[in-house]
Structure 1
Amino acid sequence: MDGNGGAPLLRVEVLGPLRVVVDGVAVDVPGPKRRAVLALLALAEARTVSADSLVDGLWPVEPPDAARQALHSHVSRLRGHLGPASGALQTQRAGYRLDVDAAGLDLAQARALLAAARAHGAGDPAHALPLLRQADGLWRGPVLADLTDLEPIGAAVTEIARLRRQVEDALIAAAVGAGHADEVLGLAADAVAADPFREPGVLLLMRALAGSGQVAEALRAAREFRQRLAAETGLDPSSALGDAERAVAGGTAGAGLARPGAGGAAADGTRLIGRAAQVAALHRVLATERLVTVTGPGGVGKTRVALEVARRSTTATVLLLAPVTDPAAVPHALAAALNLRVARGDVLAACVAVLGDQARLLVVDNCEHLLDAARGVISAVLAGCPEVTVLVTSRERLGLAAEYAFRLSPLALPGPDQDAAQAPSVTLFLERASRVRRGREPTATQLRTVADIVRRLDGIPLAIELAAGRLSTFSLEDLRDRLDRALDLLGGGAPSGEPRHRTLRATIEWSYDLLAEPERLVFRHLSVFVDGVPLETAERVAAELAPGLDSGSVLARLVDASMLTAVFGPDGTRYRMLETLRSFGTDRLAAAGESAAAADRFVRWGVALASWIGAGLASEREPEADAVLRRELANLRAVWQLIRRREAFDDAAVLVTALINAIAYRDVVELRAWAQELADDPALDRSPHAAAVLGTAAEAAYQGGDHRRAARLARAGLERGPAAESAWFCLLPLAVAELADTAYADVVEHALAAAAQPGPSRESFGIAALARAQAGDLEDARALNARGHADAGSPTLRSWGEYVAGEIENRARRAELAEQHYLRAIDLAQTSGATFLVGIATVGLLTVRVAAGRVGDALHGYRDVVDYFARTGNWTHLWVTLRNLADLLRQLGDDETADQLDAAAAGAPDAPARAQRAGRPVPAAGAGDSQRVLGRDAVLRIARLGIDRCLAN
């Protein structure tokens, strides 16, 4: 995107009114909808935005019937506005993407400048200051003011406001630190005026005032904030405000004031990282709720967060129950926490009397092993002490009516497009690692390694801290490579007498031991599901393993105990298990001698699911089956790997052949490799599924662009036996491979033979119709396609019929009718997830649009289709697309590129034979011999450059 001496060809600015600059010249984008599309794509920061999301954003109440076509029209016109930068607006399989980097998008530039200032200027504010000034200067006025009535843009504007606050906070802190406090006094005062209850803003204002010599004003700002907070919320400020007042009064403002975002120190002297939002949220909840229970899995940091809340309160009493094992001792432990000695009488009553009617916070930590006793004590406190608020930590709720559950999740993990150093999980690892091994700032490669480590540890603080501690023994890369046995790596080495929560295995085992045996059994067997398990499957497993219990109750107990996480989505409830918990579960399976039984059940589930998906893809339930396939792909992959390790060839054959429709029409490329692997397995000769496997592998080879291998595999399958159910698997791939070689009579013979097999005709008649049409018999082609269309039982097969009809009418030069068929084919295929059909129907549509003179739309479309077939590896259809593109480029005067593409196709062994089409000669087979040496990457590069040149003219 660099076309002007290093400056970006396209720049989009959203930190103010929407502004577009192409090659240094401002471009007007008319129309609110078109501007909204551009804004939504820009705000995605180079990520793909689905068409559905864009439609919902543009028409939030009631989208018009032709919303997708209207959206496509807006995108096409936007490309026209972008001129030479139109290539940045890309059509992807999942939607649309605006390809801009930090230099081309002011929002991304602001984030990058802030990250750079934080990374390099933490100890050198003078270095950070110019970066932050530049970032702050990117804001040009109200952000996208004319578009904020659209909900997604309004939400993004709110996030941008947060970013600006971060930039301004950092700018104020850096200016004060660099001795330029006078320059940011107004900015600091404006920030407090905009949000008078935000304590970090007040602290910054105090630093700026003190730094400019206005000590009395700084102290008055603190006093006024304390009064505002008490009057409006009834809350006290954190201890940081008192520290700031003492620093200002003592003349040490530069060193004594806490910086915004700095965590407080825990009892062990370490900072609490990444939990500021949760601590603040708990303070807000405690202002209205009398009993709050912080729940979450072991090691997630419940105790640390609760103790931080207590540290910021002047009235907190902390009751630690981890060392208490006797339920009867809980009242005595409370008395000890209150410094109360009860010589005789009711200990709990004495504690309630001491707490009395004072406004106090009671923190009760680690209740899960003493739930009944803790429940009784807390109930008595709530009943007898009306001004006492109780904060509890437990891996499951107490079950009291007044209870407010606050679930603490693991630390946020670095996103794919995020600066890893800004993720709390990575920050924690680096901070703890620096205590073990001091060194330089981590490199970009090391940050990626750390990001991988924290992801594999689920963002659990305890696991991250233990892992960082192992850097005394391992290098960073060695640590990452050993995380497949994290429980052993992080579970040993604790000093003798170390509290039970100091090792990862121990803290998980603590929760596990509190479960009843049927619950442990279900937990163990669910651990084989690598990517979560749907509710119905989890209930079946629970019912099978614990037949005398209600399966829903067993699962609810596992969720309550934080051993499972329930995720509620549009596709229903799904249970997930943190990877560390899953690893513990599989260890426990092995220890109990249950690994084989759990694996058997998992394989049965996977094979049955594949069969259900295969049947669903051939029915009206196809969109649902497609969604299940994509959602369960990770689990199916695990089933496949397990089957292959067991050398259970027939199970593998049933799973793969059930998914032949997915191989044929979807971009789930790895399924092709499974089929090819089975076709090459020596066990094939002993399997009753051999013919079906070879036919499925033939389909996979065709979709991979090797129609010659597809024909060989299909014929080998037919030689295995004439069984009807197996013959169908082989006849259709053979027919489409022959179609690529223009063997039209053979195509019709084999396609109609497939149609004669029991069951639905599937795409058989359509394949025969294509052969007839390419041979010039359009009437017979229409009749054959009509027979197939009448029997279409799924959206994909209806899409196939529309595509074939489009091809027939295109050959008949009935362009308008052909375009209608192609558009219906694309729409149906997008609904069903059949991406392959979207690709080939789009190729046909583009030829119609070229004939109609809609060259710009056609060029954009060719770029998208070339990218799609290149991405999925289908060079059989890619060569057809490139030949059609060559025809268009030749019409536009780019003979050189057209000749290169035709020569490459003529010399490619996997390119299909070129069918004769009216008005278009078939090049001689030997044309362009000197250019056949072009590699495929070079061919694609030439094609894309040719498209770009024509679009620029």
Structure 2
Amino acid sequence: MTEGPAVRVGLLGPLHLFVDGTGREVPGPKRRAVLALLALQPGRTVTVEHLVDALWPSEVPESGRQALHTHVSRLRGHLGAAADRLQTRREGYRLELRDDELDVARARALLTSARGAGAGDPAAALGLLREAHALWRGPVLADLTDVAPLAAAAQEYARLHRDVTDALVAAAVDAGRAAEAQDLAAAALAADPLREPAALLLMRVLAATGRTAEALRTGRDHRHRLAEETGLDPSPALGELERRIAGGAAGPAPAPAPSPAGPTTRLVGREATVAALHRLLSSERLVTLVGPGGVGKTRVAAEVARGSGQAPVLLLAPVTDPAAVPHALASALGLHVVHGDVLAACLAVLGDRRGLLVVDNCEHLLDAARDTVEAVLSACPGLSVLATSREPLGTAAEHVSRLAPLGLPGRDQDPRNAPAVTAFLDRAERVRTGPAPTAAELEVIAEIVRGLDGMPLAIELAAGRLSTFSLVDLRDRLDRSLDLLGGGRRPDDRHRTLRATVEWSYQLLSGDEQRLFRYLSVFADGVDLADAERLAADLAPGTDPGSLLARLVDASVVEADFTGRTRYRLLETLRAYGRDRLAAGGEAGDAAARLVRWAAALATWFAATAVTEDEPVADAVLRREVANLRAAWQAAREDPDAAAVIVAGLFPAVGYRDLTEIRGWAEELAADPRLVGRQARAAVLGTAAEAAYQRGDLARAERWAREGLASAAGGAGTAYCLGPLSVVDLARGAFADAAEHALAAAAEGLGEALGIAALATAYGGDRETARALVAEAAAGAGSPTVRAWNAYVTAEIDSAAGDAAAAEAHYLDAVDLARTAGATFLVGVATVGLLTVRASAGRVREALGGYREVVDYFDRTGNWTHQWTTLRNLAGLLRRLGDGGTADMLEAAADRAPDAPAVGTGPTSAGPVLGRRAVLDLARQAIDRHLGG
């Protein structure tokens, strides 16, 4: 193929063909399509069936195959002296092309080389990328996109063009030639305004060319556009780049949100499977990789994802509640959705993406996984899905691919050539170092992997036992303990083989180790070291908990994750086996009860810790344990008393944090009739009242708080009801009632209540008493959130007294302290006050930009009570800017809103009253208009 006339085929624009540097015309759309279809797979045979189906998708004419043969024959004529490049094979036709003879292959090679040059030589990378970018000559295959495979290729090459453009812009910045890439960066963002990498690159270009303000405005505009059109926050990368630019550095593009950790072991014997899946996914929208547990579906899917670029991976193994699947998808996409339809928000982000989504471990949530996948396929036409499951999803679009066990050594074959033996040796080297196995030892290994039926998990477990047994002992023990060699070859037999292998590994554990393994299986997302040791000590008194854990890790039935705090997890197959053993032994109820007690203890610890200096630690632990708490919550719903302990303990999370799922638990339990007459009812109703207040439902918040007070007998239950009642009073302008309820709550131990009383007193006009109350509150403040609240109240008093400088300093203290504690709600309300002070001081652009962010925040969280305050403050600024018409409409809407804080005796503003969405649109448009001016 390398000799003879040179051939060049161009797909990155109108199709063209050159032979020895001379352009050759290829007439007729069908013939041009044949050439393009063959060029898509250079050097590979394209079957006659594939070509015929592509050319005549609806109905193949009787002369279709003959017409195809005629087109191929005439294509050889167009190739002239290079006609031998177009070869006929038994199944179809093949076009031989070198990589440098196909512009697509050349573009990919240049992009790979540029990425290799990277930071080491950005100028060289820039040159390579300019050459790659120049290969696009116009709309890709514009006259051939009615042929489905060519339309798909055009979309793929558009993604490649985007990747080349992104890399070119980044290299230009790194090479100190950012100005040369400015037009490209601007065009890339204009083509896809919601794509964050394009926004980040344009920001870097602008910053590198000295246009810092414009760079920051680009970031702010992107943040606002994303929130307005999708209801989402950008990734942390945007904020990080904004901080770097504000500090004077364009810097490299921030890293994307972390994806699931990559595999640590080599993938053996699956190369053909991975390649076949890539080919399938180029033409199929949904491929489900099916097989028994332990056959390696997850590992193969991870390899496919790795070869598909930035493919998000939705891990369903730790999810137990079908309703939580959209939340898990949001996490996989790096999204923070705190209000509204989570799945719709995910689809809004995925809608224009091209590439692959992996959905792993669907079998335990089959209906929810199927519904989610169907929604993705419907809303995201450029996306394909690779699912893994023990059974098909059951959708019409599904292509099922069954994953077989690893290949076993033949009787007359060198065992080292069998993938199952290679996998065993790879794992064994990590357990026992030593010389290479002898021929006799290889035969023993061959017997072992044959007995394990080539199942990767079984092989891994068996090889892990080499720390205890010799190869011969391992083989003999396997033969005596498990009836594996006589099993059948049906999929269900292989499943029993795997269960028997896990059973064998399980039986090698001591009784205490077995019990700890079983009880660990109820945790959906693993446990940290302290909780694992507590569970071990409780299950096996008198033993060393650390030694029990170490044995489980050594036996490969528990994984230790040392990223951050040490955490222990079970592989999902092993976790399912452990739960089965719990059920078989009649222990499932006890294990679930222990999980609930763990959750109750965690909630109680959180409630106690969140009011101390260690509040940031409590916040981090709570956010890390949401998946386990979710599993515990499902079990706890059978026991209202246990559920009440969990909900009441999470009161500080409901009040100050944007964990809307937990707020939903509180409101769900408050409506449970079984709660009537129970001692914990007051605390639950108070927590639910706080949740209702946070979403702006003042009437429901007051009703639940008063119901709770009626059933309270003092203590936390009373405080939890008085707190929401006081802020409802505050919102309604009943300042004396608010102060009275807050002081009563303070007497019952609610840490922030004195601050609420001070705020109500200040709003009532008695600033001197308010300062005395806030001083008393500050003296007893034990947590960053309470200190932040007191700083906010002080700032409000300073602002009312006209001391703008002091107010700004205290608002900033409040924001900083609230951020350290994870108290996102308090960050929002303190920021509103800060912006009001800055606006009064003439810092209009700062204030306008800040108002836009706060409006977006309260829109996402659904807190209209504080949204109305924000809009009123914004109206005041707009009026000073001469925009009285807009200010009138904002104030009129606030005056007539039932959940807006009271500012007088009733509506005072004239003008039309807009709906809520129209109000927000009006506010955002006004902000953008004045920022643009």
Deviation at 1:543, TM superposition (A): 2.9
The 2-side partners of 1:99 and 1:623 are apart by 21
Alignment partner for residue 914 of structure 1, among 885, 903, 906?
Answer: 903
The change in CA–CA distance for 1:517 and 1:451 in structure 2 (over 3 A counts) is: farther
Deviation at 1:274, TM superposition (A): 9.6
The 2-side partners of 1:478 and 1:874 are apart by 45
State whether structure 2 residue 927 is matched by structure 1 residue 947: yes
State whether structure 2 residue 562 is matched by structure 1 residue 568: yes
Q: Is the 8 A contact 1:264 1:271 kept in 2?
A: no
| Structure-1 residue corresponding to 2:679 | 688
Deviation at 1:577, TM superposition (A): 2.3
Q: Is the 8 A contact 1:46 1:99 kept in 2?
A: no
The change in CA–CA distance for 1:560 and 1:444 in structure 2 (over 3 A counts) is: farther
Q: String of CA shifts for 1:516-550, please: whole Å, max 9, x gaps.
A: 25333322211110111111111222233344644
Q: String of CA shifts for 1:761-792, please: whole Å, max 9, x gaps.
A: 51122111111211221111111111111110
Q: Quick one: which amino acid aligns to residue 453 of structure 1?
A: A
The 1-side partners of 2:587 and 2:825 are apart by 42
Alignment partner for residue 87 of structure 1, among 211, 216, 221?
Answer: 221
The 1-side partners of 2:917 and 2:577 are apart by 46
Alignment partner for residue 17 of structure 1, among 157, 162, 173?
Answer: 173
Deviation at 1:642, TM superposition (A): 0.9
**Other structure's SS at 1:14 match:** helix
Deviation at 1:910, TM superposition (A): 1.0
The change in CA–CA distance for 1:568 and 1:708 in structure 2 (over 3 A counts) is: same
Q: String of CA shifts for 1:849-896, please: whole Å, max 9, x gaps.
A: 001111111111111111111111111111100111111122223333
The 1-side partners of 2:878 and 2:776 are apart by 38
Q: Is the 8 A contact 1:273 1:424 kept in 2?
A: no
The 1-side partners of 2:832 and 2:180 are apart by 30
The 1-side partners of 2:382 and 2:642 are apart by 38
Task: Summarize the alignment of residues 461-480 of structure 1 with structure 2, pairs less than 5 Å apart.
Answer: 467=391, 470=392, 475=396
| Structure-1 residue corresponding to 2:621 | 628
Q: String of CA shifts for 1:658-709, please: whole Å, max 9, x gaps.
A: 1111111111112222222222221222201122222222211111112232
Q: Is the 8 A contact 1:42 1:98 kept in 2?
A: no
Alignment partner for residue 752 of structure 2, among 754, 763, 769?
Answer: 763
Q: Quick one: which amino acid aligns to residue 559 of structure 1?
A: V
**Other structure's SS at 1:776 match:** coil
State whether structure 2 residue 601 is matched by structure 1 residue 619: no
Q: String of CA shifts for 1:588-634, please: whole Å, max 9, x gaps.
A: 22122110110111111110110001101011110000111101111
Deviation at 1:828, TM superposition (A): 0.5
| Structure-2 residue corresponding to 1:891 | 880
State whether structure 2 residue 826 is matched by structure 1 residue 837: yes
The 1-side partners of 2:490 and 2:921 are apart by 62
Q: Quick one: which amino acid aligns to residue 523 of structure 1?
A: F
| Structure-2 residue corresponding to 1:744 | 735
**Other structure's SS at 2:909 match:** coil
| Structure-1 residue corresponding to 2:338 | none
Q: Is the 8 A contact 1:847 1:884 kept in 2?
A: yes
The 2-side partners of 1:735 and 1:786 are apart by 19
The change in CA–CA distance for 1:852 and 1:273 in structure 2 (over 3 A counts) is: farther
Q: Is the 8 A contact 2:865 2:900 kept in 1?
A: yes
The 2-side partners of 1:600 and 1:888 are apart by 56
Q: Is the 8 A contact 1:610 1:659 kept in 2?
A: yes
The 2-side partners of 1:271 and 1:84 are apart by 41
Deviation at 1:651, TM superposition (A): 1.1
**Other structure's SS at 2:387 match:** helix
Deviation at 1:453, TM superposition (A): 2.8
The 2-side partners of 1:271 and 1:655 are apart by 45
Greater CA deviation, 901-910 or 817-826? 901-910
State whether structure 2 residue 763 is matched by structure 1 residue 777: no
Deviation at 1:300, TM superposition (A): 3.3
Deviation at 1:47, TM superposition (A): 10
The change in CA–CA distance for 1:479 and 1:86 in structure 2 (over 3 A counts) is: same
Q: Is the 8 A contact 1:663 1:672 kept in 2?
A: yes
The 2-side partners of 1:423 and 1:751 are apart by 50
The 2-side partners of 1:652 and 1:302 are apart by 34
The 1-side partners of 2:740 and 2:822 are apart by 30
Q: Is the 8 A contact 1:607 1:651 kept in 2?
A: yes
**Other structure's SS at 2:586 match:** coil
| Structure-1 residue corresponding to 2:582 | 589
The 2-side partners of 1:618 and 1:303 are apart by 43
Q: String of CA shifts for 1:262-307, please: whole Å, max 9, x gaps.
A: x99879x7556799xxxxxxxxxxxxxxxxxxxxx943389999xx
Deviation at 1:583, TM superposition (A): 2.5
| Structure-1 residue corresponding to 2:295 | 299
Q: Is the 8 A contact 2:692 2:700 kept in 1?
A: yes
Q: Is the 8 A contact 1:755 1:762 kept in 2?
A: yes
The 1-side partners of 2:540 and 2:878 are apart by 68
Q: String of CA shifts for 1:832-861, please: whole Å, max 9, x gaps.
A: 111111001000000000011111111111
Normalised to the residue count of structure 2, the TM-score between the two structures is 0.55
**Other structure's SS at 1:569 match:** coil
Q: Quick one: which amino acid aligns to residue 87 of structure 1?
A: D
The 2-side partners of 1:829 and 1:14 are apart by 36
CA RMSD of aligned residues (A): 4.8
Q: Quick one: which amino acid aligns to residue 822 of structure 1?
A: Y
| Structure-2 residue corresponding to 1:709 | 700
| Structure-2 residue corresponding to 1:925 | 907
**Other structure's SS at 2:869 match:** helix
Q: Quick one: which amino acid aligns to residue 553 of structure 2?
A: V
The 2-side partners of 1:799 and 1:764 are apart by 13
Greater CA deviation, 522-531 or 599-608? 522-531
Alignment partner for residue 664 of structure 2, among 658, 666, 673?
Answer: 673
Q: String of CA shifts for 1:338-362, please: whole Å, max 9, x gaps.
A: xxxxxxxxxxxxxxxxxxxxxxxxx
Alignment partner for residue 788 of structure 1, among 777, 799, 805?
Answer: 777
The 2-side partners of 1:897 and 1:911 are apart by 18
The change in CA–CA distance for 1:556 and 1:479 in structure 2 (over 3 A counts) is: farther
The change in CA–CA distance for 1:97 and 1:553 in structure 2 (over 3 A counts) is: closer
**Other structure's SS at 2:560 match:** strand
The change in CA–CA distance for 1:479 and 1:880 in structure 2 (over 3 A counts) is: farther
Normalised to the residue count of structure 1, the TM-score between the two structures is 0.54
Q: Is the 8 A contact 1:809 1:817 kept in 2?
A: yes
| Structure-2 residue corresponding to 1:800 | 789
Q: Is the 8 A contact 1:89 1:97 kept in 2?
A: no
- Stretches of structure 1 that go unaligned for 5 or more consecutive residues are 1-7, 29-40, 58-72, 101-145, 160-262, 276-296, 306-412, 430-441, 458-462, 481-489, 916-921
Q: Quick one: which amino acid aligns to residue 921 of structure 2?
A: R
Q: Quick one: which amino acid aligns to residue 699 of structure 1?
A: E
Q: Is the 8 A contact 2:172 2:181 kept in 1?
A: no
Alignment partner for residue 639 of structure 1, among 632, 638, 648?
Answer: 632
State whether structure 2 residue 535 is matched by structure 1 residue 541: yes
| Structure-2 residue corresponding to 1:531 | 525
The change in CA–CA distance for 1:594 and 1:748 in structure 2 (over 3 A counts) is: same
The 2-side partners of 1:507 and 1:718 are apart by 57
